[in-house]
């Protein structure tokens, strides 16, 4: 994705330069074939970035089957929930340990 981002920035810079020169020469952007070709090139890179991002997101979904229906969660949600579960588990374990250390033992044990 980084390669596409760099490529996008470079091609966008070229498009801006072509557009600026075209306007300075009084040529409408819609009538300048070089500007239009460069614009299509930038659009294609944007499309590639979007497809790559979606491909990555599709691979990071967590799916559950509830009564035959599939429920899908995005990766960020699953990661957030896992982090919260880890916090709760650590808190519970910590409280159990604290209780074990502070509860006086019964001498009859």
How confident is the prediction for the chain on average, in pLDDT?
76
Q: Say if residue 64's pLDDT is above 70.
A: no
Closest-CA residue to 21 (of 11, 31, 29, 9): 29
Contact 22, 29 (CB under 8 A): yes
pTM, whole model, 2 decimals? 0.51
- Sign of torsion over alpha carbons 87, 89, 95, 100: negative
104: three-class secondary structure by DSSP: coil
Residue range 79-104: mean pLDDT, rounded: 66
């Amino acid at each position: 994705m980084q390669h596409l981002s760099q490529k996008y920035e470079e091609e966008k810079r070229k498009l801006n330069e072509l557009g600026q020169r075209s306007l300075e020469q009084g040529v409408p952007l819609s009538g300048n074939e070089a500007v239009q070709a460069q614009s299509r090139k930038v659009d294609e890179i944007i499309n590639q970035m979007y497809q790559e991002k979606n491909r990555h997101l599709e691979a990071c979904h967590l799916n559950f089957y509830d009564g035959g229906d599939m429920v899908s969660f995005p990766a960020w949600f699953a990661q957030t929930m896992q982090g919260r579960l880890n916090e709760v588990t650590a808190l519970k374990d910590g409280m159990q340990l604290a209780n074990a250390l502070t509860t006086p033992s019964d001498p009859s044990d």
